[in-house]
Amino acid sequence: MSFNHTDKVAFITGSGAGIGRSTAQRLAAEGASIVVADLDVDGAAETVRLIEADGGTAMAVACNVCDRATIAAARDAALERFGRIDYLVNNAGIVTMHSLDELSEEDWDRVVDVNLKGPFLVTQELNEAIAAGGGGAIVNLSTVEASVVVSSQGFCQVHYNASKGGIPNLTKALAVELGRKKIRVNCVAPGPIATDFVSIDEITSDEAMDFMSQRLVIPRVGQPADIAAAISFLLSDEASWITGVQLPVDGGWLTR
């Protein structure tokens, strides 16, 4: 199934790799012009190259989601190039692998800043531009770990759970506040996805699959394209009466 994003402009954070890149490629293939926003400018440039090689339109902008000035500069560059912004995908995210006793205050702050404060800052800086074009849609990236704790090694990442646990309620609050501007806000909660966010070899190993099979109803690791499809739907007019929800795309992880 394909959705129509012709003449739309999508600003996607963290789109230099992984889910963000897959989302950028999918939306471009469906007619949108893409603003590839990433701290990794080389990764962003590669995403643009891939999109253009397939006949799409994209631009790369340097963007640190923790730095309001770089967000504003990226927004202004997008408006100068395309004249509008219709969609925002708050995809940028990080994790560090530390138990509670090993977790430093610096790592706590860094993960919470990127994963929770980042979507707030980017939305605050871009929502007026989206409204100016008549409204649009925002999709935030959550995770199944916003709802349940995953502890395959006897410890979890409390800073990651805390940061992502805030996304569903941030999404609801933004949906209420931005509804008057004709902006819908939803979030997607991925299950285990084969990206470099966590080592692909690790997540697809026999040991990992044995652990995940206790939760997965669909017995495979997810792919970035699975998440991109859900994001494309929530951005599209096919979802025009959906706002404030979290959509799990998790192979059934949250059903058990």
Determine, yes or no, domain membership for 89. Answer: yes
Contact criterion met (CB below 8 Å) for 161 and 149: yes
Q: Which listed residue (3, 11, 82, 160) is catalytic?
A: 160
User: For 8-52, what is each residue's pLDDT tens digit?
Assistant: 999 999 999 999 999 999 999 999 999 999 999 999 999 999 999
Structure tokens that stand for 166 in this block: 């805030």
Model pLDDT, residue 195: 85
- Which amino acid is present at 212? M
Give the list of residues 6+ apart from residue 60 with CB closer than 8 angstroms, or none. 36, 38, 41, 44, 45, 47, 48
**Which range (38-42, 106-110, 148-152, 226-230) has the least confidence?**
148-152
Determine, yes or no, domain membership for 255. Answer: no
Determine, yes or no, domain membership for 132. Answer: yes
Model pLDDT, residue 155: 67
Judge whether 160 counts as a catalytic residue: yes
Structure tokens that stand for 110 in this block: 């860094």
> How far does Cα 186 stand from its chain's mean position?
11
Determine, yes or no, domain membership for 48. Answer: yes
Give the list of residues 6+ apart from residue 90 with CB closer than 8 angstroms, or none. 13, 65, 118, 119, 122, 123, 138, 139, 140, 141
Check: pTM over 0.85? Answer yes or no. Answer: yes
Determine, yes or no, domain membership for 187. Answer: yes
The long-range contacts involving 107-110, CB below 8 angstroms and separated by at least 24 positions, are: 107/159, 108/159
- Give yes or no for residue 211 having a pLDDT over 80: no
User: For 106-115, what is each residue's pLDDT tens digit?
Assistant: 999 999 999 9
CATH code: domain of residue 192: 3.40.50.720
Model pLDDT, residue 151: 67
Q: Which domain holds residue 161?
A: 9-247
- Give yes or no for residue 74 having a pLDDT over 80: yes
* Average pLDDT rounded to a whole number, residues 144-148: 90
